[in-house]
Amino acid sequence: MTQDELVWLVETYSSTLLRVALTRLPTAADAEDVVQEVFLKVLDRAPRFRDGEHAKAWLIRATLNQASDLRRRRRDDAPLEETALSVPGPSEERPDLLSALRSLPPAYSSVIHLYYYEGYSIKEIAKLLALPAATVGTRLARGRRRLGELLKEEIL
């Protein structure tokens, strides 16, 4: 991969990837760390992309994987009581929107984000995440339902 291609990837996709990472991580700094790591992987592995869409799909998946890894490491390191508190329960007060999103299974939160923020169709998300469209649709519906329960309001 040439220097120009790498610069183009960073300039074009950083904003999208930072926000994708936020669906699994609690702070902007965490998201920045993860996206930075993803671009370092691109430099080291030099994957060959067919076009911009191919690159974007690879980067989104790599970001979600990297964010999950970080979250898993944090969970493994955290004391038990802290881990339990990080998931809002039914008796707690209404969590803010992003906290509620992060408490969903990762499979749901990433689909909700790509649909509501990035504006992708179900078929486009299916391509990006290498999933059947029916699975994406189901995750979107279930994620939306669970998010509504957490926020105690209807999700339109």
Partner 1 sequence: MTAKDYRDAVDAVSFRPDFVPHVLSLLEAHRKEPVSMKKPALKTVLVAAALIAALAVTASAAVYFLSPGQVAREVGMDALAQVFEGEDAVRVNQTETVGDYQVTLLGMAPGVALSQLDDGVNAQKTYAVLAYTRTDGTPIAESGSDLTVTPLVEGYAPWQVNAWSLNSFLASFTQGGTLYCLLECDTVEPFADHTVYLAVYPGTHSVPNTQIFSFSADGAIAYQPGQEGVLFPLPLDPAKADPAAVAALTQEDAPPASSAPEADPADVQADVQLLPR
Task: Give Cα separations from 13 to 38, 64, 70, 106, 120 (angstroms).
Answer: 11, 14, 20, 21, 15
One character per residue 32-71, x = contact with partner 1 (rule: CB under 8 A): x--xx--xxx-xxxxxx-x---x--xx--x--xx--x---
Helix/strand/coil (H/E/C) assignment for every residue in 71-140: HHHHHHHCCHHHHHHCCCCCCCCCCCHHHHHHHCCHHHHHHHHHHHCCCCCHHHHHHHHCCCHHHHHHHH
Residue 95 within binding range of partner 1, rule CB under 8 A: no
- Quick one: how far is CA 64 from the chain centroid? 5
Structure tokens at 57: 């799909």
Q: Nearest distance from residue 112's CB to partner 1, in Å?
A: 8
- Part in contact with partner 1 (CB under 8 A); list of ranges 6-14, 74-82, 86-94: 6-14
Which residues make up the interface to partner 1 (CB under 8 A)? 1, 3, 6-7, 10-11, 14, 18-19, 22, 28, 31-32, 35-36, 39-41, 43-48, 50, 54, 57-58, 61, 64-65, 68, 96-98, 105-107, 110, 112-113, 115-117, 119, 121-123, 127, 129-138, 140-141, 144, 147-148, 151, 153-156
